[in-house]
Structure 1
Amino acid sequence: MARMTICLAAVALLAASPASAFTRPRKEPDAKPRACPEIGEGYVRIPGSDTCVRVGGLVRVEGATIGTSR
């Protein structure tokens, strides 16, 4: 039983090694986004189209404690 476990562990390690060694080549961006001042501040034109977009977000964190101190 122990020999079987060791063999399975060795096979799993050997199978995972080539996948972890692979690195993707870096792709350079096609074009820099251009500003859309006619729409407003923060908007950029999507390369290859007439569409302007703006990405935004909000992070909110709340915390509370319930209990009494002695």
Structure 2
Amino acid sequence: MNIKVIGTGCDKCDTLYENVLIVLNELDMDAEVEKVEDLVEIVKLGVMSSPSLMIDGKLVASGRVAKKDELKKILSK
């Protein structure tokens, strides 16, 4: 599983990244998690608002910090 936390490095982006790591740990799941902070890369991904969350190339949350409960549901699928 490839997870991208997309944003320019704001506090909300950092919170989303931390939430993803916490939930992965709680679910005992392995995944490649990366932060995408470069504006050119963000535009290439087609993301227009941050923070955003992309899993395996699919945008699953955009413009907000997904809560841990929501992330658990998304990652358990």
Class of the TM-score when normalised by the shorter of the 2 chains: under 0.3
Q: Using structure 1 for the length normalisation, give the TM-score.
A: 0.26
- Structure number with the bigger relative contact order (C-alpha 8 A, sep ≥ 6) is 2
